[in-house]
Amino acid sequence: MSVIFKPIIQNIKMENKTAVQEVFSELEKLHPQLFNVYTTEGKEFINHFHKFLAIEKKQLKKAYNHDRPNLCAYTEGTAFKEYYNETFKN
C-alpha cells in the first residue's frame, strides 16, 4: 500500500459513516446554523437535503443485494437492514 494513501484509508476505517453522512458532519462543523432545528433555515436545510441520505441508502442496498442474488425478498431487506445498522448507524 502506498504511504500516501495509508493515512487516508486509516481515517476511513476509523469512522463508519457513509459519504453523505461525512459531508453532513463536515457541514455541521463548518455551518452549525444549517442544522439548528429551531430556525426556519435549519428546518428547510434538513428537510431539503435529507432525501440524499435516502438515495444513498437505496444505492447501498442495491450494491449489497447485487452480491447476494439468492436472497428472498424478506431476507434481502432484513439482512441489509442489519448490515446497514451495524455498519453506518451512529
pLDDT at 9: 44
Q: Let me know: does 46 contact 61? Beta carbons within 8 Å.
A: no
- Count: domains in the chain: 1
pLDDT in tens, the chain (90 residues): 444 444 444 454 446 888 888 999 999 999 999 999 999 999 999 999 989 988 988 888 877 776 666 655 555 567 778 877 787 775
> Is 0.85 surpassed by the pTM of this model?
no
Q: Give the per-residue pLDDT at 3.
A: 45
Count of CA atoms in the C-beta half-sphere (13 A) of 3: 0
Name the 3-class secondary structure at 41: helix
Residue 54 included in any domain: yes
CA-based nearest residue to 44, from 53, 55, 33: 33
The answer to whether residue 60 is domain-embedded is: yes
Position 9 in a domain = no
Q: Find the domain containing 49 and state its range.
A: 17-88
Task: Examine residue 48 and state whether it is found in any structural domain, yes or no.
Answer: yes
In a domain, 5, yes or no: no
pLDDT at 15: 62
